[in-house]
Structure 1
Amino acid sequence: MEIINVIDDRLLKVDLEAKDKEEAITKVCELLYKEKYISDIDSFKLDVLKREELGETGIGNGVAIPHGKSSSVIKNTVSICKLKDSIEWESFDGKGVNVIILFAVQDDIESAKEHLKLLASVARKLGRDEVIESLRNAKDEKELKECFR
């Protein structure tokens, strides 16, 4: 399963404004709610923040991959947002984040398997410097999506 096959254009956002990690997660949750991928913003956000407490989701190079398994998820998906300005985020390289790839996953075994496949697909893409550079330079949602082709 490749990430490009599950990207919903409505869940892509460039120039997202957020002052910190919690606000960024809230705004992505609002987007997921608006597009009917989650049934409850607060519940899903809480699940994502609980996962954040378990370990760093900032993978370096300005990218974070937060995720939440939650009963609030209606349909598994991923949202990709480029922030207007970098924000503080616990990461492997100790630097801020300006790209958030948030996974929303239903709380069941099949969804967990799908999540791992999607995560592997994203990891393969993010292992290439040119993809990271393209993400950082994306000027609109179309360019953001193209990074994952």
Structure 2
Amino acid sequence: MTISKVISEDCIILNLKVHSKEEVIKKLSERLIKKGAVVDKDRFIQDIYKRENMGPTFAGDYLAMPHGHSHCVVNPAIAIARTTDEISWDNNKNLVRLIILLAIPKDLKREIDIEILKNVTASLGNIRLIKDLLHASTKEEILKHIYSTAK
């Protein structure tokens, strides 16, 4: 599997007008359902919140990386939203504008596919990349920045 199979334009939402973390997670989960990466939206969202309860997914610099490690995920995938306004992400009132939702299958036989997700998330530690994603004008630009930094 290549990175282009994991993340595509149809799973990117720019200038999303939402007021809460819950709204963002629902919108991104719907994109993953349409892509065919997730088969049960409600259960997938439950798995995301189960993970959220284990520890923070706020990564700093207006970035949050929620993820669902779920039996509902049939193909690893990434969905991205950039909001028009900052939203409060957690109890600490950390503000985010860039949300990268990872859909991770529980099937451990898919280690090659999961390695792609790991490479993408590792590249998100690059502050320059985060700034580029926050200022990109188009979905194509978002993909270009991610593809150029993820191995």
The TM-score with structure 1 as length reference comes to 0.86
Going from structure 1 to structure 2, the CA distance change for 1:123 and 1:78 (only over 3 Å counts) comes to closer
CA distance in 1, matches of 2:73, 2:83: 24
**SS at the partner of 1:147?**
helix
**SS at the partner of 2:13?**
strand
CA distance in 1, matches of 2:130, 2:4: 16
Q: State the shift of 1:48 in Å.
A: 0.5
**Structural RMSD (CA):** 2.3
**Where does residue 10 of structure 2 map in the other structure?**
10
The answer to whether the 8 Å contact 2:48/2:69 transfers is yes
Please list the CA deviations of residues 52-78 of structure 1 after superposition, one character each: whole Å capped at 9, or x if unmatched. Answer: 010000110011111111121121111
The answer to whether the 8 Å contact 2:68/2:103 transfers is yes
Q: State the shift of 1:106 in Å.
A: 1.4
Q: State the shift of 1:94 in Å.
A: 5.8
Runs of 4+ in 1 over 4 A off after TM superposition: 1-5
Please list the CA deviations of residues 3-24 of structure 1 after superposition, one character each: whole Å capped at 9, or x if unmatched. Answer: 5663222111111222111111
**Where does residue 32 of structure 2 map in the other structure?**
32
Going from structure 1 to structure 2, the CA distance change for 1:37 and 1:120 (only over 3 Å counts) comes to closer
Going from structure 1 to structure 2, the CA distance change for 1:5 and 1:106 (only over 3 Å counts) comes to closer
**Where does residue 100 of structure 2 map in the other structure?**
101
**SS at the partner of 2:59?**
strand
The count of corresponding residues between Structure 1 and Structure 2 is: 147
Please list the CA deviations of residues 83-117 of structure 1 after superposition, one character each: whole Å capped at 9, or x if unmatched. Answer: 121111139x96311111111111121346643x2
5+ residue gaps, structure 1: none
Q: Percent identity?
A: 32
CA distance in 2, matches of 1:123, 1:34: 23
CA distance in 1, matches of 2:130, 2:11: 19
The answer to whether the 8 Å contact 1:78/1:104 transfers is yes
Letter in 2 for 1:30: E
5+ residue gaps, structure 2: none
The answer to whether the 8 Å contact 2:76/2:117 transfers is no
The TM-score with structure 2 as length reference comes to 0.85
Q: State the shift of 1:128 in Å.
A: 2.2
Going from structure 1 to structure 2, the CA distance change for 1:29 and 1:5 (only over 3 Å counts) comes to closer
**Where does residue 47 of structure 1 map in the other structure?**
47
**Where does residue 110 of structure 1 map in the other structure?**
109
